């Protein structure tokens, strides 16, 4: 029997054991995995910050406008794009079966505007397309935003993580790769070995800026992953769709994806099956252990243990809830620290920057009307960049320090909680995180990277008709003043927007750490309680049938464990 067939057999056996243990959820997972392995499907998750063009890129790769773009996505819904005879879509809501939906109606379910806070309870969306690229077994996973899958707090998204086989990381040139994006890649590397890096929206910058951004990303990423990384593919999803022709690195990107399908498909699928066998096997072992314990020890003891578990669980829920206000206070404190810094920076730098800009605009040689306006706006951007970048770079160390301070306080509260939980008997066997703080992000080890300057859409690109007419028709002195005012406002806008970034990045990162931590604890809790409860119920029934029944049940459980040890 080939290795692949052996794997499939193991999955089927595992599914059978799960059914014998009355765990239909695990059996379903094993079957789904077996089906995927038999069809040779593998999942490439498209990850990156919002608005980097992830959905547009996937659409361009399958040459159809299938996935909604340009909307704020619902952060808890991932969309899988897989091969099918024709374009269609289906979705599943919590507690119900798959239902067909029209492609046009997808935004109703996956965009935050139309489905705020996922009030429609969507847990999975699948879209089918006949695109040749997908015939290879490749499936795309369109994720909503930065780390939404890998740091997700919603169970449905979290459950998806073990299924991901490779990551297509999408970032941009303006701004270039950020510290948060580098963190995300580092985080994903715990689950995934295969990365493809794409710099999208290459059309928005000059070739030189694009190369610089790609080199910079490679440097940062290879440092973070502690290994050399593949080339970065510089593409434009927009160009690909608009022109109908591949431009820049597009052909190479497609080749890479195809070679992934040809060269690594088996390996990726096998890896997914092995991960699944380990993961599901461990869960089944827990169930067996709980059932055995419930059969061996007096029922009252098990009941007491479950009560203690419930108390511990309430305790944990309460403690997590109490973390809320502490956390909010921390956020407020951070907010005011950085607000002061920001105000001081703006007050210090803006008058000087505006003066520099005025001087430069007045010195612009021989330009008039709209050309002058465009040149003035370009200068405003340069002046803002020149003043903001050094400040942003200085902010990196400070941001890291503030973040570390906040997370240390936060971690010490959580560690107290963990210690308290572990000291209660009920929790002694629960796989709680050892101690928070060994987490890269929480330890504050991860760096902030503000090397880039956030570009704010320049009003020079699109000048309202009246303004344009004014620039053309008004006397030169008047035009100059109007243009100076506009350029100065633009400069201020960029300085302020960039100054806000520091504070927002830190807050965002704290929020992520908190959610990750909470979901870890909640997940551990839920699994253990469920297994204990089920063990107790089974034990009750079997004990009612007498000693012999108990002995037979123990022997059966032992047999199942041995079967399990053979396959997973």
Ligand X SMILES: Nc1nc2c(ncn2[C@@H]2O[C@H](COP(=O)(O)OP(=O)(O)O)[C@@H](O)[C@H]2O)c(=O)[nH]1
The residue among 55 and 354 lying less far from ligand X, judged by its C-beta, is: 55
52 contact, one of ligand X, Mg ion, none, CB 5-8 Å limit per kind: ligand X
Binding of residue 114 to ligand X (CB under 6 A)? no
* Residue 157 contact among Mg ion, ligand X, none, beta carbon within 5 to 8 Å by kind: none
- Which residues 167-226 are close enough to bind ligand X by CB under 6 A? 200-201, 203-204
| Euclidean distance between CA atoms 208 and 212, whole angstroms | 6
**CA nearest to 227, candidates 236, 218, 235, 215:** 218
Q: Does 509 bind ligand X (CB under 6 A)?
A: no
55 near Mg ion, judged by CB under 5 A: yes
Residue nearest to Mg ion (CB): 55
Q: Does 54 bind ligand X (CB under 6 A)?
A: yes
State which residue, 69 or 186, has the beta carbon closest to ligand X.
Answer: 69
Query: How far is residue 233's CA from residue 251's CA, in Å, rounded to a whole number?
Result: 10
248: left (phi over 0), alpha (psi -120 to 50) or beta: left
* Other Cβ atoms within 10 Å of 184 Cβ, number: 25
CB 50, min distance to Mg ion, A: 7
Closer to Mg ion at the Cβ: 55 or 178?
55
Q: For residue 50, state whether it binds ligand X (rule: CB under 6 A).
A: yes
Which range touches ligand X (CB under 6 A), out of 44-52, 322-330, 373-381, 408-416? 44-52
Burial label, 112 (beta-carbon count in 10 A; 0-12, 13-18, 19+): middle
Q: Is residue 52 close enough to count as binding ligand X by CB under 6 A?
A: yes
Stretch that binds ligand X, among 49-57, 180-188, 258-266, 456-464 (CB under 6 A): 49-57
Polymer length in residues for the chain: 568
Residues 442-501 that bind ligand X (CB under 6 A): none
Residue 49 CB, shortest distance to ligand X, in Å, is 7
Q: Indicate left, alpha or beta for 546 from its phi (over 0: left) and psi (-120 to 50: alpha).
A: left
Among 55, 313, 354, 505, binds ligand X (CB under 6 A): 55
Rule CB under 6 A: choose which of 69, 111, 186, 498 binds ligand X.
69
Q: Is residue 248 within the footprint of ligand X (CB under 6 A)?
A: no
- CA 545, distance to chain mean position in Å, is 50
The one segment of 55-63, 110-118, 130-138, 245-253 that binds Mg ion by CB under 5 A = 55-63
Dihedral, CA of residue 92, residue 97, residue 98 and residue 102, to nearest 10: -80
Residue 349's nearest CA partner among 385, 374, 304 is 385
Cα–Cα distance, 292 to 452 (Å, whole number) = 58
Strand order in the sheet with 42-47: 98-101, 88-93, 122-129, 79-83, 138-142, 42-47, 166-171, 194-199, 233-234
Residue (65 or 530) nearer to ligand X, CB:
65
Which of the choices Mg ion, ligand X, none does residue 380 contact, using the CB cut-off of 5 to 8 A by kind? none
- Counting Cα atoms < 13 Å in the Cβ hemisphere of 90 gives 10
Structure tokens, 204: 């928005």
- Range in contact with Mg ion (rule: CB under 5 A) among 48-56, 226-234, 239-247, 360-368: 48-56
Of 167 and 334, the one with the shorter C-beta distance to Mg ion is 167
Residue ranges in contact with ligand X by CB under 6 A: 50-56, 69-70, 200-201, 203-204, 236-238
Residue ranges in contact with Mg ion by CB under 5 A: 54-55
């Amino acid at each position: 029997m080939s290795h692949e067939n052996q794997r499939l057999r193991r999955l089927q056996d595992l599914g059978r054991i799960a059914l014998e243990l009355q765990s239909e959820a695990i059996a379903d997972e094993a079957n789904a995995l077996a089906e995927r392995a038999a069809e040779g499907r593998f999942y490439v998750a498209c990850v990156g910050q919002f608005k980097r063009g992830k959905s547009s890129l996937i659409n361009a790769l399958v040459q159809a406008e299938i996935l909604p773009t340009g909307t704020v996505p619902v952060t808890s819904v991932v969309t899988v794009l897989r091969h099918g005879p024709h374009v269609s879509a289906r979705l599943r809501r919590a507690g119900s079966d798959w239902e067909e939906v029209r492609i046009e109606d997808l935004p109703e379910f996956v965009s935050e505007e139309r489905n705020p806070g996922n009030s429609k309870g969507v847990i999975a969306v699948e879209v089918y397309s006949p695109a040749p690229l997908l015939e290879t077994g490749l499936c795309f996973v369109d994720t909503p935003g930065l780390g939404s899958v890998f740091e997700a707090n919603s169970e449905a998204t979290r459950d998806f993580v073990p299924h991901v086989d490779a990551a297509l990381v999408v970032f941009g040139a303006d701004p270039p790769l950020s510290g948060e994006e580098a963190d995300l890649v580092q985080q994903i590397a715990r689950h995934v070995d295969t990365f493809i890096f794409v710099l999208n929206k290459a059309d928005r910058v000059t070739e030189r800026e694009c190369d610089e951004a790609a080199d910079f990303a490679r440097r940062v990423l290879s440092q973070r992953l502690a290994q050399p990384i593949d080339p970065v593919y510089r593409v434009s999803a927009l160009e690909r769709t608009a022109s109908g022709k591949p431009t820049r690195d597009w052909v190479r990107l497609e080749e890479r994806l195809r070679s992934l399908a040809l060269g690594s498909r088996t390996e990726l699928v096998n890896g997914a099956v092995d991960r699944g066998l380990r993961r599901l096997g461990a869960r089944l072992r827990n169930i067996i252990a709980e059932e055995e314990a419930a059969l061996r020890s007096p029922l009252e003891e098990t009941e007491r243990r479950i009560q203690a578990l419930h108390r511990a669980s309430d305790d944990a829920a309460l403690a997590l809830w109490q973390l809320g206000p502490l956390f909010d206070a921390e956020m407020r404190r951070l907010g005011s620290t950085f607000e002061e810094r920001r105000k001081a920076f703006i007050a210090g730098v803006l008058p000087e920057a505006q003066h520099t800009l005025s001087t430069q605009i007045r010195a612009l040689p021989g330009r008039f009307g709209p050309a002058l306006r465009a040149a003035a706006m370009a200068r405003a951007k340069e002046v803002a960049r020149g003043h903001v970048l050094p400040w942003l770079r200085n902010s990196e160390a400070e941001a890291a320090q503030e973040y570390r301070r906040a997370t240390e306080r936060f971690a010490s509260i959580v560690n107290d909680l963990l210690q308290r939980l572990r000291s209660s008997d009920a929790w002694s066997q629960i796989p709680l995180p050892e101690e928070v703080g060994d987490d890269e992000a929480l330890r504050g080890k991860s760096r902030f990277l503000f090397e880039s300057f956030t570009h704010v859409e320049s009003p020079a690109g699109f000048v309202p008709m009246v303004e344009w007419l004014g620039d053309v028709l008004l006397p030169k002195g008047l035009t100059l003043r109007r243009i100076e005012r506009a350029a100065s406002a633009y400069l201020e806008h960029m300085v302020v927007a960039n100054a806000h970034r520091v504070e927002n990045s830190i807050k965002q990162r704290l929020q992520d750490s908190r959610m990750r931590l909470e979901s870890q604890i909640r997940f551990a809790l839920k699994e253990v309680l469920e297994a204990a409860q089920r063990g107790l119920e089974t034990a009750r029934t079997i004990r009612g049938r007498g000693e012999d029944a108990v002995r037979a049940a123990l022997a059966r459980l032992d047999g199942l464990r041995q079967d399990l040890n053979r396959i997973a």
